[in-house]
Amino acid sequence: MKDTTPIAKTASRRPKPAARGGRPRRRKLTFDRVTFFLAFLGVPLAIFVIFVLIPFGEAIFWGMTDWRGFSPDYNFVGFDNFTKMFQDDVFLKALRNVALLAVFVPLVTLTLALGVAVAITLGGPSKGPVRGIRGASFYRIVSFFPYVVPAIIVGLIWAQMYDPNAGLLNGVLTGLGLDRFDTFAWLGEKATAMPSVMFVIVWGLVGFYAVLFIAAIKGVPAELYEAARIDGAGRLRTTVSITLPAIRDSVQTAYIYLGIAALDAFVYVQAMVPNGGPDNSTLTISQRLFNVAFAKQQFGYATAMGVVLAVVTLVFAALVFLVNRLTGGGEGESKRKAPGARARRAAAKGGAG
Amino acid sequence: MSVVAADRKTASDREPAKDRKLTRVAAGGDRRFAAISHALLILWSVIVIVPMLWVLMSSFKSTGEILSSPFSLPDHWRIENYANAWTDASIGKYFLNSVIVVVSALILVMLLGAMCAYILARFEFPGRRLIYYVMLAGLTFPVFLAIVPLFFQLQNFGLLNTRLGLILTYVAFALPFTMFFLYAFFRSLPHDVYEAALIDGAGDWRAFFQVMLPMARPGMAAVAIFNFLGLWNQFLLPVALNTDQDKWVLTQGMAAYASSQVYDIDYGALFAAIVITVVPVLIVYCVFQRRIAGSVSQGTFR
């Protein structure tokens, strides 16, 4: 009904035929359209603003107060929380641990994931069209397994694997004749606690990134590989000269999100070493924040730690971008397919939070 | 596992043999590369599978057996471990809570995310880019920055320790991811179908629900799978915002059960609890694994 009115009106005014064309969308604000916009944009945005945006904003303010939660009183203390934090040995230790995680976890995970992806996609015979290795889907399914197991369960499984007495790891090692591992406490020794935690995070994440890279490599036009083969390039050469540059943006995105995951690491450490490990050697900022907030009720101080964690995260992301740019990647290509790149970024994060 | 692997290995060894007549050198290189690849992949598969098999096997043993003989099969398959885990760890209750919270949040976030993505992708209006970038920021900042204010935000609304509060929080934090994924998808949908719907007299509402949303189904499926995994595995949000034990979700319940085991260890029951938690997800994964791999590539190459 209402759709016919504008036509009736214009018809009565007898416009020149040219004036009618060329406008694909009517901008008329009908009741239908107003409610449509309100519902479609308003409801999701309201939830997002209330539960994400406002808390993020408040965090920055509260980080500068000495608020302790259940009383309404607080003082504005400016940057005192931050100076206190950087004199707090436990926090500094956590910061150092988290930096280690952010360096090694993405590096090892991506190396392994790339190794798996290259082996699966390019492991086939080098004659004819590019083929995957035999049993590719078997390997792909298996390596993705840990990703679907809840992270807390991954942590619990490995906490048992590492158990000094009942754990399988020591069982295997003593079985191989290495008696000194009879009751070795992997998570209880300062030297091994952190590497052990890192290994578990890597174990849980490799499969996802391998599948991501497999998809990226399959997206490389096959002619590129065939042309390189005809030109006599070997496997190493094709990997270095074709595969890596082609999936560079995927690697960058993966690096950033792995870094973010490693900077958090809360689930894994809570499952394996909830007390922060020997001499706090596996304590993370997230754990420290959680205890300071919900056990000690120092909400202002805890939020300030959240701010530092956010800054560290952003600095990390900026560093990865910078390194990628300096070594000649990115930009030109990422502009061309901006929406895809964003969706890929979203996919690399692999779900909510 | 090892049988399958060995089988595949011989198959791969046979393959280059056919090519040998052509160029001996290249085939040799192929075979060596394939062998190295297989060795690497098998090693990684073993590292992945062995812990899981060990957990499965140990879930049928007594604590004594686990301590004394970690490798051997159980003397007597103790099904009662599962009964103990089910009652001691209240897994049934937590499982149900997880299902309620995750399914509600999933339906809500898919609907709201699709709506939001649709508006941002297909309409020009002032503030569109601003909304887009604010959402992007929501995707990048760590949840830990928001966790304390979020706690009090929920308290102010009377939503702390309620399922509704947890559902809304899940929705809010999964929304940016859902939106970005579907944004790309809605952008790629053809315009003329939409125009045709309008000409046929459909309003904006009908055009979305009857024409555009059904066309976006493959994209929706892909995001839904990721969101399901992400929300099902969520740990921090429930631990901080949902402390009422009757409403605990599975991840919380498992963490608490494991830490309660420090004082009175019943390894068998703990392993059984882990198996009960993991098996449903693994089954879902095996059923949908092709689709999941497809989803990852879709996210990569849209």
Angle at B138 between CA B172 and CA A59, to 5 degrees: 90
A302, A351 contact by CB (below 8 A)? no
CB contact under 8 A, B250 and A150: yes
A285, A305 contact by CB (below 8 A)? yes
| Strand spans (E) along A149-263 | none
Asked if residue B223 and residue B102 are part of one domain, the reply reads yes
The runs of H, that is alpha helices, within chain B are 2-19, 24-58, 63-68, 80-88, 91-122, 128-140, 143-156, 163-188, 191-199, 204-206, 213-215, 217-232, 236-241, 250-260, 267-300
In a domain, B11, yes or no: yes
Write out pLDDT tens, residues A266-300: 999 999 999 899 999 999 999 999 999 999 888 89
CA-to-CA distance for A289 and A274, rounded, in angstroms? 13
A174 Cβ partners below 8 Å, 6+ apart? A181, A182
CA-to-CA distance for B272 and B270, rounded, in angstroms? 5
Asked if residue B148 and residue B59 are part of one domain, the reply reads no
DSSP element (H, E) containing A109: helix A89-122
pLDDT 10s per residue in chain B (302 long)?
A: 333 444 444 444 444 444 444 445 556 667 777 888 889 899 999 999 999 999 999 899 888 887 777 777 887 888 888 988 888 888 889 999 999 999 999 999 999 999 999 999 988 888 899 999 998 888 888 889 999 999 999 999 999 999 999 999 999 999 999 999 899 888 888 888 888 888 888 888 888 998 888 888 888 888 888 899 889 989 999 999 999 999 999 999 999 988 887 666 788 888 999 998 888 788 878 887 777 766 666 554 43
Asked if residue B66 and residue B212 are part of one domain, the reply reads no
Asked if residue B94 and residue B79 are part of one domain, the reply reads no
Chain B positions touching A267 (Cβ under 8 A) are 235-236
Angle at A169 between CA A165 and CA A170, to 5 degrees: 45
- Interchain contact A306–B (C-beta under 8 A): yes
Asked if residue B182 and residue B228 are part of one domain, the reply reads yes
Write out pLDDT tens, residues A22-64: 344 555 677 888 888 888 999 999 999 999 999 999 998 888 8
Asked if residue B209 and residue B112 are part of one domain, the reply reads yes
May I ask the CATH class of domain A90-349? mainly alpha
Query: Phi first, then psi: what are they for A166, rounded to 5°?
Result: -95, -5
User: Where does a domain end: B54, B83, B112?
Assistant: B83
As for how many domains chain B has, the answer is 2
B224, B299 contact by CB (below 8 A)? no
Report the range out of A3-7, A198-202, B80-84 with the highest average pLDDT.
A198-202
- Find, in chain B, the residue whose alpha carbon is nearest to that of A35: B205
Domain range spanning residue B35?
Answer: 2-83
Domain boundaries, chain A: 24-56, 90-349
pTM, to two decimals? 0.83
User: Where does a domain end: B36, B55, B83?
Assistant: B83
Asked if residue B241 and residue B188 are part of one domain, the reply reads yes
Kindly calculate the radius of gyration of chain B based on its CA atoms and give it in whole angstroms: 25
- Find, in chain A, the residue whose alpha carbon is nearest to that of B11: A134
Asked if residue B74 and residue B105 are part of one domain, the reply reads no
CB contact under 8 A, B34 and A116: no
Asked if residue B249 and residue B143 are part of one domain, the reply reads yes
Asked if residue B199 and residue B101 are part of one domain, the reply reads yes
In a domain, B54, yes or no: yes
CB contact under 8 A, B29 and A234: yes
Asked if residue B253 and residue B190 are part of one domain, the reply reads yes
Distance from CA of B247 to the nearest CA of A (A): 18
Asked if residue B114 and residue B79 are part of one domain, the reply reads no
pLDDT at residue B5, rounded to an integer = 41
Q: How far is CA A262 from CA A24, A109, A254, B70, B201, in A?
A: 48, 11, 12, 31, 52
Q: What is the CATH number of the domain that holds B240?
A: 1.10.3720.10
- DSSP for B3-47? HHHHHHHHHHHHHHHHHTTT-HHHHHHHHHHHHHHHHHHHHHHHH
CB contact under 8 A, A153 and B37: no
Specify the residue for token string 């003593």.
Answer: A174
Average pLDDT over residues A87-92: 93
B216 Cβ partners below 8 Å, 6+ apart? B114, B182, B185, B186, B189
